[in-house]
Structure 1
Amino acid sequence: MTTLLGDPVTRTRAYFDGEWRAAPRTFEVFYPGTLESIGAVADCTADDARRAIDAAEVALKEWRKVGPYQRGQILRKWHDLMFEHKEELARLMTLEMGKPISETRGEVHYAASFIEWCSEEAGRISGERISMRMGNKRGFTASEPVGIVYAVTPWNFPAGMITRKAAPALAAGCVMILKPAEQSPMTALYLAELWLEAGGPADTFQVLPTNDAAALTAPFMEDERVRKLTFTGSTAVGRLLYTQAAKTIKRVSLELGGHAPFLIFADADLERAAREVVGSKFRNAGQTCISTNRVYVQREVADEFTRILTEKTARLRLGDPLQDDTGVGPVVEQAGLDKVRAHVEDALSRGARATVGGRVEEGLYFQPTVLTDVAPDSLILREETFGPVAPVVVFDTEEEGLRLANDSEYGLAAYAYTRDLSRAWRVAEALEYGIVGINDGVPSAGAPHVPFGGMKNSGVGREGGHWGLDEYLETKFISMGV
């Protein structure tokens, strides 16, 4: 394993109220690969949050006056700087949360793509002319920024989840105050540094790390000047924030938990389907909200598909995420590892069998695992595992497969493989999910212009494309007598 102490890419000071600020209180950030500390980060307080809101109010008055085209030019510089600092950003993300560096390099591209798209779209923000029924009136709309945005982002995409929110907010003329996940605050601080270097005005994008999320968040929920909440994380926390935001009637976007099913029909290309399941399930050690969580295979091909999936999973290299040839790294923290282990042990106790993997290795590493004969009441089929485990369940008919796939409180992403065009349409329309991949295990990859979001307990609102930009704009109707 690589020694990390004193790594030059780490960032430790918060940015708010016009300055980079140390804090009397700090918390440590640990590298999941070796459990070494990579630095101590400013632990911001409720008082810091109030100062940030005051500063954001001042910044908003000036930023919303900047023309959309000019805002887009600054965003474009931010995009370009991300590529100038690509290796540093990728390494920092790997240090913070253990994603293989081959994936974090890809995440820099993914994160920057939202900035690029919004930089181009900013100059196109406009209203529209409305034909009025009375001849002495003229009507039109104007699109205006919502205002101050409070954003809370997760650790699993330390850059991508930030730019997917910040880019459209800043393009719209909003200002943002960000609370990054405590596991990955340094990437957020690096992005703020690059925003300022690109010419972003002071306090338009403030970053306040904390190890006490509830205390820091309270002022934002209580303050009527904060007009928008955007959150990506668990359904339980999202439900709590939704309730709190209602007191001041904030605009809300929530991207919450997932439990994605992957349907494999008997007529599918099994090699390709297995390859896509591996890519979807084991990317980031299974720690993505749209990762495959449940694999449903039609009985006629279940044995053959499981054999292929097992072989491909066995070839994945588990190891140091800072090495270029690593395929699967550690999970982010002990609590996550404990949940993965508990789900696997529960499934095995109910009669499941591991065709590959199934065990914890030293540290926070869990072997890439395929389970078969998984009982319907197993935890792994009812809860999001967030780990490198693929449970395989057999079904007989299309109707049964759809019933099993939809039998979840979540509705973020779902996948299906079939060569039957009619079935493809039926399944796509019947799946109760906001994102559906038909013969496509990564439907949102590299696509900043498509909508991302879920149904049911997976959230409200969409990110990406004009749908994501609209989340940060208010529509004002203007009627003029002539």
Structure 2
Amino acid sequence: MSTPFTTVAGVTVDTRHWIGGERVASAGTFTDTSPIDGAVIGEIARGTEAEAAAAVAAAKAAFPGWAATPRAERARVLHAIADGVEKRLEELAVVETTDNGALLRSHRRGVMPRVAHNFRFFADWLLRLDHEDFETRGHTNHVSWDPAGPCVLITPWNAPLMLATWKVAPALAAGDTVVLKPAEWSPLTASLLADIAAEAGLPAGVLNVVQGYGSEIGDVLTSHPDVRRISFTGSVPTAQRIAASAAARLTPLSLELGGKSPLLVFADADLDLAVDLAVEQYDNAGQVCLAGTRLLVEETVAAEFTRRFVDKAARLRQGDPRDEATDIGPTIHPRQLEKIDGFVQRALAAGARAVVGGHRRDGQYYAPTLLTDVAQDSEIVQEEVFGPVLTLQTFADEDEAVRLANGTRFGLAATVVTGDPARAERVTARLVAGTVWVNCFFVRDLQAPFGGSRQSGVGREGGTWSFDFYCDLKNTVTAPKGWQDHG
């Protein structure tokens, strides 16, 4: 490598791996570019099988000491990491905006504060993690959460640091050690996290960061005999490859995968609220797994809903995400832009109508798009686009609404907009989804289980569910008698 550092908006970022408490270079690099303008950000260490194996070895070596660290001390270190995130919040925000193109105002006000909260929440939850002892025929049952071992965490590019720390924080709190593999399209804040964790006093080898392409190092990480847990957020095809790799050793998996979530609008809904929630699905240029990209609107109000939607969408400002006035930034990468446009153009060729957008803009920007006249079995309705593209279908009654809503292979989330509490209860009970919002969207609490049904995932994250995954649960049964007198 010509230089092990790059400077982003005045912030110095080390572009090498972080393994065993040290910076480690690779023979090769890959180029990281900004979606804002296509400019080269830096040359990033391109991990090989050797670096991946070294990271697992470092995590294995560090595991006994970290697992034996008292809960209170682990919690203290996690709070210190949160302190470091808050201290460097502005730096993290500007680096991540440059790297993945999401709005700077969102990073400052919501995303990076949530990163710190992830560490604080799981630190505090660790200290209250408990199961009341219970008796069986006079025998005492005691449930405990034992650290499982080294974990491989593979994270996506759409909210790089927040989604990484959803996994890193509970894994560290549980007493596990971590090999973090960030997405190659947005690797920089993972490197900064390594610095912050080291400054907070996290022992060497407890957190390792390996950069590179999943096709080159993924199998080493996911099939390694010393890895005890694998958590992945991303696409279904990649998850299938990871699952196949992990299967030989029966390594437990947590998979948060794609979505094709419905947003149901009933005739008794507050239409202004419904339109606000629908337009909100363009957040992060539609690169949100939870986004309600399938608008299902009761036919008696569909025309009025569409009119209001078009009017509100026309007021969105798309442009440089560093500008406070911008509502929608760019797509992450030229390949993603091609994928989005391919979906839209095939839909238009098949008879869909673009009520809003339907085309590229300069650079890596795709116009917010709403397509109507789409069939339930069409590609644009069935497959995840992961861009600022929504479809609109109508329904006649609750039964049809539920049938359409459940009519894909996914089941990540759903949103219901109605003015009738009884209807909300009926409909939500019938929806296949890991999370359902009623008259709101994206209200997330780390106490709640998060994950998907069907091909949207395996397992749940959040609260005790995270510890259930990152730990080996043990039940110790003690007889009421039989102790020897050692007096």
* TM-score, normalised relative to structure 2: 0.94
- The alpha carbon displacement at 1:307 in A equals 0.9
Alignment of 1:145-294 (within 5 A): 145-211=147-213, 213-279=214-280, 281-294=281-294
SS of equivalent to 2:259: coil
SS of equivalent to 1:24: coil
Residue 114 of structure 1, aligned match among 109, 115, 118: 118
Work out the CA distance in 2 between the residues paired with 1:214 and 1:359.
Answer: 31
Structure 2 residue runs without a partner (length 5+) = 1-5, 483-487
Contact 1:28–1:41 under 8 Å retained in 2: yes
SS of equivalent to 2:319: coil
Matched AA of 1:35: G
Q: Structure 1 pair 380/118, CA: closer, same or farther in 2 (3 Å)?
A: same
Contact 2:20–2:206 under 8 Å retained in 1: no
SS of equivalent to 2:359: coil
| Cα-to-partner distance string for 1:364-391 (whole Å, 9 max, x where unaligned) | 1111122222333432101111111221
Tell me the equivalent position of 1:419. Answer: 419
Tell me the equivalent position of 2:369. Answer: 369
Work out the CA distance in 2 between the residues paired with 1:307 and 1:127.
Answer: 53
Structure 1 residue runs without a partner (length 5+) = none
Residue 26 of structure 1, aligned match among 14, 24, 29: 29
Contact 1:141–1:475 under 8 Å retained in 2: yes
Alignment of 1:120-135 (within 5 A): 120-126=124-130, 128-133=132-137, 135=138
The answer to whether 1:93 aligns with 2:91 is no
Contact 2:8–2:98 under 8 Å retained in 1: no
SS of equivalent to 2:160: coil
Tell me the equivalent position of 1:84. Answer: 87
- The alpha carbon displacement at 1:338 in A equals 1.4
Matched AA of 2:202: G
Matched AA of 1:249: L
Task: Tell me the percent identity.
Answer: 39
- The alpha carbon displacement at 1:164 in A equals 0.3
Work out the CA distance in 1 between the residues paired with 2:302 and 2:279.
Answer: 16
Higher alpha-carbon deviation: 367-376 or 15-24: 367-376
Matched AA of 1:23: S
Work out the CA distance in 2 between the residues paired with 1:477 and 1:158.
Answer: 36
Matched AA of 1:275: D
Work out the CA distance in 1 between the residues paired with 2:140 and 2:103.
Answer: 57
- The alpha carbon displacement at 1:348 in A equals 2.2
| Cα-to-partner distance string for 1:108-128 (whole Å, 9 max, x where unaligned) | 122222111111112223454
The answer to whether 1:302 aligns with 2:292 is no
Higher alpha-carbon deviation: 36-45 or 18-27: 18-27
Tell me the equivalent position of 1:44. Answer: 47
SS of equivalent to 1:159: helix
Contact 2:144–2:473 under 8 Å retained in 1: yes
SS of equivalent to 1:301: helix
- The alpha carbon displacement at 1:18 in A equals 2.5
- The alpha carbon displacement at 1:214 in A equals 2.9
SS of equivalent to 2:185: coil
| Cα-to-partner distance string for 1:324-359 (whole Å, 9 max, x where unaligned) | 111101111122111221222222223332222222
Tell me the equivalent position of 2:471. Answer: 473
Q: Considering only aligned residues, what root-mean-square deviation do their CA atoms show, in Å? A: 1.6
Work out the CA distance in 2 between the residues paired with 1:229 and 1:167.
Answer: 14
Q: Structure 1 pair 5/470, CA: closer, same or farther in 2 (3 Å)?
A: closer
| Cα-to-partner distance string for 1:71-90 (whole Å, 9 max, x where unaligned) | 11111111121111111111
* TM-score, normalised relative to structure 1: 0.95
Work out the CA distance in 1 between the residues paired with 2:88 and 2:136.
Answer: 52
SS of equivalent to 1:471: helix
Tell me the equivalent position of 2:3. Answer: none
Work out the CA distance in 2 between the residues paired with 1:195 and 1:126.
Answer: 27
Work out the CA distance in 1 between the residues paired with 2:7 and 2:347.
Answer: 39
Work out the CA distance in 1 between the residues paired with 2:229 and 2:215.
Answer: 17
Higher alpha-carbon deviation: 169-178 or 113-122: 113-122
Higher alpha-carbon deviation: 41-50 or 371-380: 371-380
What number of residue pairs does the alignment pair up?
A: 473
Tell me the equivalent position of 2:71. Answer: 68
Q: Structure 1 pair 6/177, CA: closer, same or farther in 2 (3 Å)?
A: closer
Work out the CA distance in 2 between the residues paired with 1:368 and 1:110.
Answer: 27
| Cα-to-partner distance string for 1:167-215 (whole Å, 9 max, x where unaligned) | 001001001101100011111111111111111111111000013x133
Contact 1:72–1:121 under 8 Å retained in 2: no
SS of equivalent to 2:228: strand
Matched AA of 2:315: R
Contact 2:21–2:205 under 8 Å retained in 1: yes
Work out the CA distance in 1 between the residues paired with 2:222 and 2:25.
Answer: 25
SS of equivalent to 1:476: strand
Higher alpha-carbon deviation: 266-275 or 460-469: 460-469
Matched AA of 2:91: E
Matched AA of 1:22: A
SS of equivalent to 1:263: strand
Tell me the equivalent position of 1:353. Answer: 353
Q: Structure 1 pair 123/309, CA: closer, same or farther in 2 (3 Å)?
A: same
Higher alpha-carbon deviation: 97-106 or 295-304: 97-106
- The alpha carbon displacement at 1:480 in A equals 3.4
Contact 1:29–1:41 under 8 Å retained in 2: yes
Work out the CA distance in 2 between the residues paired with 1:424 and 1:66.
Answer: 47
Matched AA of 1:112: A
Work out the CA distance in 1 between the residues paired with 2:288 and 2:370.
Answer: 18
- The alpha carbon displacement at 1:313 in A equals 0.9
Matched AA of 1:435: T
SS of equivalent to 2:316: coil
Work out the CA distance in 2 between the residues paired with 1:68 and 1:162.
Answer: 22
- The alpha carbon displacement at 1:5 in A equals 7.4
Work out the CA distance in 2 between the residues paired with 1:411 and 1:190.
Answer: 34
The answer to whether 1:59 aligns with 2:62 is yes
Work out the CA distance in 2 between the residues paired with 1:40 and 1:448.
Answer: 35
